[in-house]
Amino acid sequence: QVQLVESGGGLVQAGGSLRLSCAASGTIYNINTMGWYRQAPGKQRELVAAITKAGTTTYTDSSKGRFTISMGSAKNTVYLQMNSLKPEDTAVYYCEAETITGYGIHLKDYWGQGTQVTVSS
């Protein structure tokens, strides 16, 4: 019954900003990392940014310097602040939560349904 729910997408002009939010609708145990992925029509889903429970962040060359990922204090909520948006950022953005065992072994990934981000020029 657990799922992730994204919000905050929309239509914005190039150079504008959006803040995406993602939260679990139920309890997800042993979250290690949360991240944002995106998928444009006809393309593979790709990582945008990720953050560990300890606060370590990962960005792609495209997102670094423009986007900021953060995690809520309860470690079951993740945000993506997107600034200086470009038309090539247009995609459906998906939230992901990775769970692990006590030994750090990957257990399961949870995914949201996605939120559309459209950037016009």
For the segment 84-111, what is each residue's pLDDT rounded down to a tens digit?
A: 999 999 999 999 999 999 898 999 999 9
Q: What pLDDT does 108 receive?
A: 92
Q: What pLDDT does 62 receive?
A: 92
Percent of the chain with pLDDT over 70: 99
What is the 3 state secondary structure string of the chain? Answer: CCCEEEECCEEEECCCCEEEEEEECCCCCCEEEEEEEEECCCCCCEEEEEEECCCCEEECCCCCCCEEEEECCCCCEEEEEECCCCHHHCEEEEEEEEEECCCCCEEEEEEECCEEEEEEC
Q: What pLDDT does 14 receive?
A: 98
Task: pLDDT band for 2, please (50, 70, 90 cuts).
Answer: confident
Per residue in 6-35, pLDDT (tens digit) is 999 999 999 999 999 999 888 898 999 999
> Average pLDDT of the chain?
95
**Residue 61, phi-psi category: left (phi > 0), alpha (psi -120 to 50), beta (remainder):** alpha
